[in-house]
Amino acid sequence: MINNKELFEKILSENPPTFSFGQKVKTNMGIGYVVGYVFNERLKNWKYTIRPHGLNNYYVDVTSIENFVE
């Protein structure tokens, strides 16, 4: 029997997230920071929660993001 911690570690080792917590990224909605992510097992991709730059207590979920280069 596999527990949740082992399952999460397996998912992380097989499909590491592209972006980490606090990383500045560019989305179709502008620039923001990664504040969370969840793995979609059916689609085999990560869904990220972004806090747009300059906005507190406002979050959006996106799947299409890229590195922000200053």
Q: What is the pLDDT of residues 33-68, one digit of tens each?
A: 888 888 888 888 888 888 887 776 666 766 666 666
Q: Report the pLDDT value the prediction gives residue 8, as an integer from 0 to 100.
A: 83
Q: What is the CATH number of the domain that holds 49?
A: 2.30.30
Q: Report the pLDDT value the prediction gives residue 58, as an integer from 0 to 100.
A: 67
Sign for the CA dihedral angle at 7, 10, 12, 14 comes to: negative
Phi-psi category of residue 64: left, alpha or beta, with phi > 0 → left and psi -120 to 50 → alpha: beta
Range of the domain at 49: 4-67
Domain count, the chain: 1
The reply to whether the predicted model has a pTM over 0.75 is no
The residue among 65 and 12 whose pLDDT is bigger is 12
